[in-house]
Structure 1
Amino acid sequence: MMDQNTYRPISKEVHSQDDQDFHFLKEEGIKVIQRLGNKLWTDYNTHDPGITILEILAYAITDLGYRLSLPVEDLLLGEEKSNYLKRHFHMASDVLPCKALTELDYRMLFMDIEGVKNSWVEPYKKEVFMDCKNVKMAYEPVIWQGIPDKDKKSFELKGLHKILVDASDEISFDQIRKNVMRAYHQNRNLCEDLVEVIPVEAHPIQVCAIMDLAPDANEELIAATIEWNIEQYFSPNLHFYSFEKMLDKGYSADEILEGPYLKHGYLDPQEMQAAKLRNTISQSDIIQLIMDIEGVESIKDLSINHCDESLSGNGWVIEIPEGRKPILCDKSKFNFYKGLLPLNVNQEAVSNYKKVLVDQFREEQYGIKEKGFALPEPYDHSLEEYTSIRNDFPEVYGVGPLGIPESAKGMGRQEKANQLKAYLTFFDQILVSYFKHLGQVKSLLSVFETRERTYFTARIADIGDHQTFLGEFYDSGNLYEDLMAPFDERNKRSQQLKDHLLARFGEKFSDYAFLMKKIYGSGVDEQVLETKSYFLKEYGNISAERATAMNYFRQSAKNLWNSSNVSGFEKRVALLVGIKNYFRKNLSKSFVEIFPTSNSEGEAGFKWRIYDLNNNIILSSNKFYQGRTAAHKDIYLVIQQVNAVSPEMINTSLDQFEDVPEENFQFACFQVSISASGRFSFGISDPDIVNQDSPDFIIASQQKFFTFQNFKNALLSFKSFMVEHMDDEGMFVVENILLRPDFNEEDLNNQHFLPFCKDDCGQGNCLDPYSYRVTIVLPGNSFRFADRDFRDFLENIIREELPAHILAKICWIGRANTGDLEQEDQMSPFEQAYKNFLSGLTVGDFQYHEEFIKILSELHSIYPTGTLYNCEDEDESNAMRDTIILGRSNLGTI
């Protein structure tokens, strides 16, 4: 008999407590009603109309809950079923692979080149000798003649490589060398370079054997197979696999996609690491592989030896010199018997069979393998489809499609039904908005899209009688503007969505957003959002190229300048600080002039103006600035505000006027003014100043006036110019290792090295100015870069993103005083010298090295000028941001 103490009754509490549990939702709703309306309403039984409404609402919520629980692929399905995931996410094949980074990555990369059986990356050793007395460098120790030992120093260049290639005989090595060089430079790491590609030196081995074959064996096929198997033993071919085969080998998806993305399939990293140059040849191994061939019955005799008679080796095991690969030499001989009869082997037939084996391997090896994996098939659930909850009410309520019975229309029932319909529309509108939001999840969480609105709603008109109790506004009005727009903080919500997506990649923009807000106020909110959005769009590229350098090998002029052929480091840093155009381009040309002036009280200060391509002034500042930093701040604020206004908004805002307006008006950042003669001009407002009567409300104005018919085109032209030409931000990353002189230059006078100081020869100082060093050149007088806080932020970003083993020298160059147009500009000669240097580097011409090294070594940073802070002057407690406090202000770094 069951022990009464162990008996436990089945619980009646079976609710799942989620949004798909009708009974749970109903009971929770009744609890809320009891808490809020217990003094007015005490009947919560099923017959009560209020409970009926609650039940129908609970049922509608279960439908919403069901759709929310659908598989992710169903929620993301849009209008097109093909490639639906690619419209919203970066694919694994885009973000998980990377350009070659490690030695194993490079070996895999070269294996993807047809004709490369294997390869090895080794350091290229080159010593540089230093004469510390006369401050000279050379590649030969002849420079040390006549100087004391204490002045003799030397160092070895690091980051240089040579590649040993085990190549097949079917493709010329010159072609293979060219392909390897091209692949290396497309994946070259920052501050590294390739000096030479050489074939692995062969070491011939003689193999002689006498074998008995089966009576029906094909001796020519067996001879070809023996040669092929011995060659594979000497230097095995590595195999490409499909994605499915790699899964079968025990690798996970992220492990399979590590390293470079190869066109012929995937390589097993363990096989690659084990594939080393063979240093011994064993007679027993060869006997085993011959006996494994079908048709070979026995081996009567077998011998192995060096083909070079001057070398001697053990008859059972032969040692192979380091760095060489064994090959089967032409002294090898294979004799075959069938019983007592010797066989004559047709060598032409053997060659034909050997060719078939080689071609079969090449077809299997270099045929494109299935590299992807099946994505889930989505099902279209029509997520946004919604029908009014009035359809679910009993007919006696008269709110459904059938309406009020004819017999009850004269008793005031219609008016009461209309009141209930209007009441239920409140719930309908909330529910349809939720369903509409669900249909837009795919766009809101997309890494490629940024919506103009983040709240959504729709009309409920499936019954068709809404005009009788809602009026015409429901059809003619804009429901979003009427219901959602006041609550839709679009920028704030979009920022949160982008932060969520960025966090999934382990990225954050909180410091950048805080700094931009601190310097420029709320006027750059759209620019910050655009920075996050563009970073997410480009993440597939910058994640794969994070450690790569520019490709300088055999490039055309158009791919060296005004080109995206820059290092992955430059791309990433640019996108992290809101520079969308990370091309290598001219930065010395500026359309902005900041000029010194004085105010009515005689105080010295600055104003600014912007010129167009024809040197006409298109915008002039209204404000007077005591420091250039404040002027730069407003210039950048104006640019970002204008860029945030779309051409569509300009068209819509001006097309709304049926007649020529007679009073000043505003839209977005534009303050449109009308002259006494009825002509139009505009100014740009400060978004952080609410009082429009403030003298600082208008930052800058255009002094030209237009008729209303021409005003729209003038605004659009102004907008287009600001977007296309007001771009003075960028950087140049110079890898010092590429500045080394030609290794083949014997004349010491033509070996142009980077300069160094005698102090560099001191104990503990770094002698090597080349290895793992970069010089980063930035425009010091561009709008944001002239700000001291932004410079500090950018320098920190550069050091955080630069690989830890690379040391950077950061130079901020340009005109120290933007208002003095006669002052020397360092940027222009630097850009020209750098362009010449790259044009020579790409073809191996060193004629521009001396000029570029000279200009690079003479660069000096410019710093934002400021006013020394006066601690005794209490009025300076709120001094402008240009103030400098001794011992506390970071003026910059060299």
Structure 2
Amino acid sequence: MKTGDSFSKNDIEKTSLNFSELRNKGIEYLQELGGDIWTDYNLHDPGLTILEQLCYGLTDIGYRTAYPLEDLLVKNKDLPIDARANAFFSPSDIFSSHPVTNTDLRKLIIDRFDEVQNVWISRLKNEGFHEEISGLSRIEVLPKLRFIRKLSADQHAREDFINRLKKFLNANRNMGEYFSEVCLLQPRPVEIKCNIHLPEQNDIEQTLSQLFLSLFEYIYVPVRFRTPDEMLSENQTIEEMFAGPRLIKGFLPDEPAKERIRVLDVDILQRLFSKADGVVKCEVKSIVCGDTESQKMTIDPDHFFHLLKDTGQYDSNARFDYLYSQLKVFINEKEINLLHKDVINNLLFEKWSKKYRAYSMGDQKEKTFNEKLEKTYRDPGNYHSLQRHFPLIYNIGPEGLADSEPEEKKAKASQLKAFLMLFEHHLGGHLSQLANLNHFFDIDFSSPNEPAFRNEWINSVPNWATLFPDHQLPASQTESQEAYLKKKNAVYDHMLARFGEELSEVPWKISARLHLLRNEKEYLLAVIRHKSLFLKNVDRLGYNRSKGESIGAPEVPGENEIAGLEEIICLKSGIPLRNKPIVKKLSEQPATLLAPGEHYHNIEQLHHNYRPVRLTELPEFSENENVNLSPSFLGGIEIKLLFRETVNPQNYRISRKTSDDQNKIQVIFRKETRKWVRLYEGKNEADALRFVAQSINYFTELNHHAEGFYLLDHILLLDMLADSQFGFSFKSEYGDNFFGTMADESWSQTESERQNSLQEFFLCAPDADNYRFENKQWLLQNNEGKVIATSAPLPDTENPVVDRQVEKAKNYIRFFSSPEEKNGAERYAEMEKIRLMGSIAGRNFGQRRLVFQRRLSNGQIINEDFFDFQVSFLFPDWPARFQEARFRDFITELIRERIPSHIKNNILWIDRNQMQNFESVYQKWKDAKARQKEQSDKHHLAKLAFDVYTEIQTLKAAK
């Protein structure tokens, strides 16, 4: 079987290092090209001497080029490779990610909070076929032993810790997720009544301390950090070691949390104590908690079993009273009345702190990576001129020629020197690029005018200044700046591909076509700068790709509070990051009142009196310069046309030059196809062109400032549900209400009451006696006469058939409440109906649904599925780029490619008035949520959140 071609970095071209082969190859070329005029290829021939010197130079270049790439990236002696500049990211930078799973988040909380012994996260899950709020989690924290002591002594410690943890969770939540409750478990002291039998000659203190350690590990479920060596010894790969969030206290294996102890059982404790080394026999009699003594003890909700005494005046030995109060120790069946408790206690905490300590990792976890950066500096750019190796008779070495030598001889030497410098230019340039390889791959694009290579090599040429007038150095660049930028662009494409990333140039091609970028240089600079910015932050962008927005001040000063996806979209599309507010009043720009603009309709007269403006004749302008625009310019044109057409130089014309010095130069603008308006009148053409340049620059900047978007995570609007009631609604295949909570008495005050009402619906709906027709609606009642659910209003009818309604309700019940194995065929038929029916009479035919609902304090009813893993993107529709269908398609594809697959997205393109209304309500809600501290704020915050919800629903309905 034929294998495909391959290449390896170890397969170096041997010819470049073989002097003889190069020399023979050179002679072959000479014979082929000049065999009829040059036949002497012996060693004494000057041409052969030159060839040999060139071959020697090529072998030197080949040898230096064959240096290990790592050595070529070292900038200076005694310095390592600049990892960040070359996009070499450490394993912790590139393999880690923002917490995604419960295990990830547990690791991060335990790592960041010294007060946390262990933590448990429970996510509220949807069960069955109803649609309710998803993404909510409850956090239960078991405090560390020393923090438990602090909680008993400091009444503010609990509240301060919970507030810090909530702020931390807000800053580290995933998109579509929220933490509904944070619970710091409270201690419930327990005592264990038991007898421990030890053999004679036993180290009592060691045995009891080890037994207590096993008990502590069982009760408090501690988490042990590992060192890098320990992780490797457990057969963990580098990728597995650094997977998940970045930790600072060591490594935690990627394993689920052990269940916290909610029940203490004498039998389990009996087995636990019996396994302790040195214990002959163990008798666990009972568990004592306050006045209760039992064989099996269940902990109260939001509490944990505590083995130490952390109340009253602090005494290190008194803390252990609960451990010893019910403990009896026997040696040879004789009870020991005196135990060295202080020794046992010290041994216990010594073992505990040693086993469950945190590690000050520092650079330890990056040790292997940093070692790989320590390479040898080769100084590959140190060029030694070929002319220094020629025999003295050639007169081109450092010795040169005496002033007394004939001019002809000097001329011949200079000719040979100049001829050889053509070759040396390439040899020196090659080594110069080799020496600056680290700079060429530098991801920080801060020198757009950087030459292709430097000309330091020329300093090695003997007496080079004699060849140049005034001793001026020749130009070092051998390529245009555009050529260099194209090469740099290709290099950045390669470096992005290392991380599986690509930065499409489509957004900037659209900008260039719309004249937002004036030429190829501006286009290349814009593309390269964004690729450079992406590369410099690729580790953070990858880490935060699923991170949600944090409302309020960041948990860490300087930390970015926006969603990771928002930053990725901005960098990949060229949209300014956090350019808010988007709506900018045009009246902020000063305008000079000119005479009302004249409109020109006569095209022939227009061509005769005015000429087009060429882009090349427009002067450079300053972004800070003001431009005076007439009211007719700002007010007489629709906003989309204003943003799109004002940046196009083809829409401007200036009056033609005449011999009459009294004539003033005018600038006119095309507002419509055959309608031009005068904008400016000045004394000369230079001022007119400057006005055009300033106008284009102003509206280019206006486009830039108008670009932006909002990413609204629906779950953040949960504040609107304060004091709301719980209900449900069955939706038909057309999205209409079939039966649901509509009557006032049907609404539940708690979620558990709603579940009971739903169960009652399933029980009562099949019985026709439970239906009552009233006000064109069916009312479904339970046995006590309470209305459980109400149907949608029916058309006018005098004799509605209850059997038909009951049969329809039974069908719904079978679909929503029956086990899948019994009604799989019916559900399959339901899906087939959706596939076959499609859209009927302009209405979408879909799946029947059970939607959970809330009725707010203002009487409004909202569906809980609004908060169910949904986000909305709001883009302005008036900036020039945002009007282009191709740009909108690009944004849509980008969002759907990068957003987590379980998140539903709504992309809305809205006009200026809609954006202004949204920004008004959004900013009020966001400001209030950021400063929310007291319960008294919740009603005001609920109103503001509802205003945002209403605005979103209005925009979606108008879509």
**What's the TM-score, normalizing by structure 2?**
0.66
Q: 1:791 aligns with which of 876, 882, 888?
A: 888
Judge conservation of contact 1:773–1:808 (CA < 8 Å) in 2: yes
Tell me by how many angstroms 1:227 deviates: 1.3
Judge conservation of contact 1:509–1:532 (CA < 8 Å) in 2: yes
Q: 1:158 aligns with which of 134, 139, 159?
A: 134
C-alpha distance in 2, partners of 1:684/1:49?
71
Alignment of 1:93-242 (within 5 A): 93-112=92-111, 113-124=113-124, 155-171=131-147, 172=151, 174=159, 176-199=161-184, 206=192, 208-212=194-198, 215=201, 217=203, 219-220=204-205, 222-242=207-227
Aligned length, in residue pairs: 744
C-alpha distance in 1, partners of 2:493/2:361?
42
Percent identical across equivalent pairs?
Answer: 22
Judge conservation of contact 1:208–1:302 (CA < 8 Å) in 2: yes
In the alignment, which residue of structure 2 is the partner of 1:853? Answer: 946
Once the two structures are overlaid, the 10-residue window that deviates more, 107-116 or 228-237, is: 228-237
Tell me by how many angstroms 1:421 deviates: 0.9
Alignment of 1:357-756 (within 5 A): 357-360=351-354, 363-364=357-358, 370-373=364-367, 374-375=370-371, 376-404=373-401, 409-410=405-406, 412-451=408-447, 452-458=449-455, 460-468=458-466, 470-472=467-469, 475-477=471-473, 479-480=475-476, 484-486=478-480, 489-510=483-504, 511-520=506-515, 523=519, 524-552=523-551, 564-582=560-578, 584-590=580-586, 599-601=599-601, 617=628, 632-633=643-644, 635=646, 726-741=704-719, 745=723
Shift in alpha-carbon separation, 1:102–1:395, aligned structure 2, 3 A:
same
**Cα deviation 1:574-603 (Å, max 9, x = unaligned):** 111012433554444456899998852279
Secondary structure of the equivalent of 2:67?
coil
Judge conservation of contact 1:534–1:580 (CA < 8 Å) in 2: no
Shift in alpha-carbon separation, 1:518–1:267, aligned structure 2, 3 A:
same
Tell me by how many angstroms 1:253 deviates: 2.6
Q: 1:299 aligns with which of 269, 280, 284?
A: 280
Judge conservation of contact 1:336–1:343 (CA < 8 Å) in 2: no
In the alignment, which residue of structure 1 is the partner of 2:902? Answer: 805
Q: 2:85 aligns with which of 87, 92, 104?
A: 87
AA at the equivalent of 2:253: D
Secondary structure of the equivalent of 1:812?
strand
C-alpha distance in 1, partners of 2:502/2:700?
29
Secondary structure of the equivalent of 2:600?
coil
**Cα deviation 1:402-425 (Å, max 9, x = unaligned):** 335899x45944332222111101
Judge conservation of contact 2:87–2:495 (CA < 8 Å) in 1: no
**Cα deviation 1:438-474 (Å, max 9, x = unaligned):** 2222122122225423512315133542233x2226x
AA at the equivalent of 1:728: A
C-alpha distance in 2, partners of 1:700/1:569?
45
In the alignment, which residue of structure 2 is the partner of 1:290? Answer: 276
Q: Which has the higher helix share?
A: 2
Judge conservation of contact 1:181–1:197 (CA < 8 Å) in 2: yes
Secondary structure of the equivalent of 1:509?
coil
Tell me by how many angstroms 1:549 deviates: 0.8
Tell me by how many angstroms 1:163 deviates: 1.7
Q: Which has the higher contact order (CA 8 A, sep 6+)?
A: 2
Secondary structure of the equivalent of 2:871?
strand
Judge conservation of contact 1:499–1:508 (CA < 8 Å) in 2: yes
Secondary structure of the equivalent of 2:436?
helix
Secondary structure of the equivalent of 1:241?
coil
AA at the equivalent of 1:738: L
Shift in alpha-carbon separation, 1:747–1:503, aligned structure 2, 3 A:
closer
Tell me by how many angstroms 1:301 deviates: 3.5
C-alpha distance in 2, partners of 1:529/1:849?
45
Judge conservation of contact 1:266–1:371 (CA < 8 Å) in 2: no
Shift in alpha-carbon separation, 1:726–1:512, aligned structure 2, 3 A:
closer
Tell me by how many angstroms 1:544 deviates: 1.2
Secondary structure of the equivalent of 2:196?
strand
In the alignment, which residue of structure 1 is the partner of 2:256? Answer: 273
Unaligned runs of 5+ in 1: 1-13, 129-152, 639-672, 686-694, 816-824, 864-891
C-alpha distance in 1, partners of 2:527/2:882?
16
AA at the equivalent of 2:562: V
Shift in alpha-carbon separation, 1:174–1:462, aligned structure 2, 3 A:
same
C-alpha distance in 2, partners of 1:28/1:487?
35
C-alpha distance in 2, partners of 1:557/1:467?
59
Tell me by how many angstroms 1:800 deviates: 2.0
**Cα deviation 1:698-743 (Å, max 9, x = unaligned):** x99987899999x99x999998998799522111111111222466
Tell me by how many angstroms 1:484 deviates: 1.8
**What's the TM-score, normalizing by structure 1?**
0.70
Judge conservation of contact 1:588–1:814 (CA < 8 Å) in 2: no
Secondary structure of the equivalent of 1:809?
strand
Judge conservation of contact 1:89–1:448 (CA < 8 Å) in 2: no
C-alpha distance in 1, partners of 2:88/2:682?
47
AA at the equivalent of 1:121: I
**Cα deviation 1:468-510 (Å, max 9, x = unaligned):** 3x2226x325513xx5244862332222122222222222233
Judge conservation of contact 2:432–2:453 (CA < 8 Å) in 1: yes
In the alignment, which residue of structure 2 is the partner of 1:876? Answer: none
C-alpha distance in 2, partners of 1:787/1:103?
42
AA at the equivalent of 1:169: L
Judge conservation of contact 1:99–1:260 (CA < 8 Å) in 2: yes
C-alpha distance in 2, partners of 1:526/1:614?
23
Secondary structure of the equivalent of 2:14?
coil
C-alpha distance in 1, partners of 2:44/2:514?
64
Shift in alpha-carbon separation, 1:76–1:367, aligned structure 2, 3 A:
closer
**Cα deviation 1:524-575 (Å, max 9, x = unaligned):** 343223222222223232221111111126669999xxx9521111111011
Shift in alpha-carbon separation, 1:87–1:244, aligned structure 2, 3 A:
farther
Once the two structures are overlaid, the 10-residue window that deviates more, 345-354 or 66-75, is: 345-354
C-alpha distance in 2, partners of 1:434/1:471?
23
In the alignment, which residue of structure 1 is the partner of 2:838? Answer: none
AA at the equivalent of 2:65: L
In the alignment, which residue of structure 2 is the partner of 1:135? Answer: none
Judge conservation of contact 1:812–1:861 (CA < 8 Å) in 2: no
Asked whether 1:34 is paired with 2:19, we answer no
Judge conservation of contact 2:514–2:880 (CA < 8 Å) in 1: no
Judge conservation of contact 1:836–1:848 (CA < 8 Å) in 2: no
Shift in alpha-carbon separation, 1:109–1:706, aligned structure 2, 3 A:
farther
Secondary structure of the equivalent of 1:264?
coil
C-alpha distance in 2, partners of 1:360/1:765?
59
C-alpha distance in 2, partners of 1:700/1:464?
66
C-alpha distance in 2, partners of 1:164/1:675?
87
Secondary structure of the equivalent of 1:166?
strand
Alignment of 1:70-85 (within 5 A): 70-78=67-75, 81=79, 84-85=82-83
C-alpha distance in 1, partners of 2:679/2:374?
56
Alpha-carbon RMSD across the aligned residues, in angstroms, is 5.3
**Cα deviation 1:344-389 (Å, max 9, x = unaligned):** 1254554455444455556545776822123331333223221211
Judge conservation of contact 2:647–2:700 (CA < 8 Å) in 1: no
